[in-house]
Amino acid sequence: MGHPEVDRAVAAYTEQRPALETVTEEAIAALTALIDDAGINYLTVTGRTKSVPSFAAKAQQRMRALKGQALAADLLRGITDQVGARVVTYVRGDVLAVADLLHEDFTVLEDRDMGAETARAGQWGYASRHLLLSRDPVGPTGDLPAYDPTRCVSVQLRTVLQHAWAEFEHDIRYKGTVPPEQVPDLDRRFTLAAGLLELADSEFTAIRDRLQAGLSGGAVASDDADPRISAQELATFLAGRYASAGWSRTEHYEWIAQLLLELGVGSLDELSALLVDVDSASVTAAMGYKYPPGAVRRLDDDLLVAAGERYAALPTNERRRDALLARLEKVRG
């Protein structure tokens, strides 16, 4: 027989869940737009609204942990992943970049690096960055806002390899039946797999860095049928101009190539001539980023400085024109 306060909490959550589904959709759209605008590379941005059965199970867990001494309102406030999102990147450096970006744009109520906590314990295993974000500003006394499911989103940041390990481990442990006598060997094998994946993550980072360093001297064939600078050409050019910046998504290179075409720039020579007087390091410093902007964002800033209001007025920039003009004002001081 269930606890009456748990039942009340589940009933309240069931009633508000349709509204939270809208909050989830808005959170996914906001996160995707934010990361895209920053030019940070990623694989997926997904989300979900916690199911009623999952909420009920967690409410029962919390009630047991609190020895039956909790009200329904406490349970509702204590379950902070009612709206959840997950960002999967290719390498760990991009996880850090996304985390820094979220710290800049949201109020962070909680930030836990589960991989670092596991490593400090001298172990290998679950590795994911968990952030609880709020759209509410910090209070005048520096106090953080209270958790509000209509204003907050719980975000997991992982590399694709960390995601694969976590999903497989969850599927085996929680959806399958493991005979007790096999648990020690299973734990050992999961630990071994986690260590190997951590090594693979490091190697992926080394491969990307090596390729990016080599891009600046390479030649890439273009498509004569497409008047835009190709994504590969731009990646090569930007790797040389912004050696410290991370890669951006292929779609981002194609998007900025369209903007260049609207500016009348159809070759790397014309792009170089347009940017010749732009001090990119000074532009980035003036923007005051707390996160490391990706290569496409760096180019976006430099084009804004080089072409000014003309760049902001391009058709493809219609939806972000005000934001671009605000960035231009920041650089001009």
Q: pLDDT tens digit string along 49-77?
A: 999 999 999 999 888 888 888 888 888 99
**Which pLDDT score is estimated for 256?**
95
Q: pLDDT tens digit string along 97-146?
A: 999 999 999 999 999 987 677 666 665 566 789 999 999 998 888 889 99
**Which pLDDT score is estimated for 327?**
95
Q: Is the pLDDT score of 8 beyond 60?
A: yes
DSSP 226-261: --SPPHHHHHHHHHHHSTTSPP--HHHHHHHHHHHH
Q: pLDDT tens digit string along 168-210?
A: 777 776 655 667 777 777 777 777 777 777 787 878 777 777 7
Match 């731009």 to its residue by tokens: 234
3-state helix, strand, coil in the chain (%, to 5): 60, 10, 30
**Which pLDDT score is estimated for 220?**
46
Nearest to 158, CA basis, from 90, 108, 82: 90
**Which pLDDT score is estimated for 85?**
98
Indicate the pLDDT class of residue 1, thresholds 50, 70 and 90. Answer: very low
**Which pLDDT score is estimated for 34?**
94
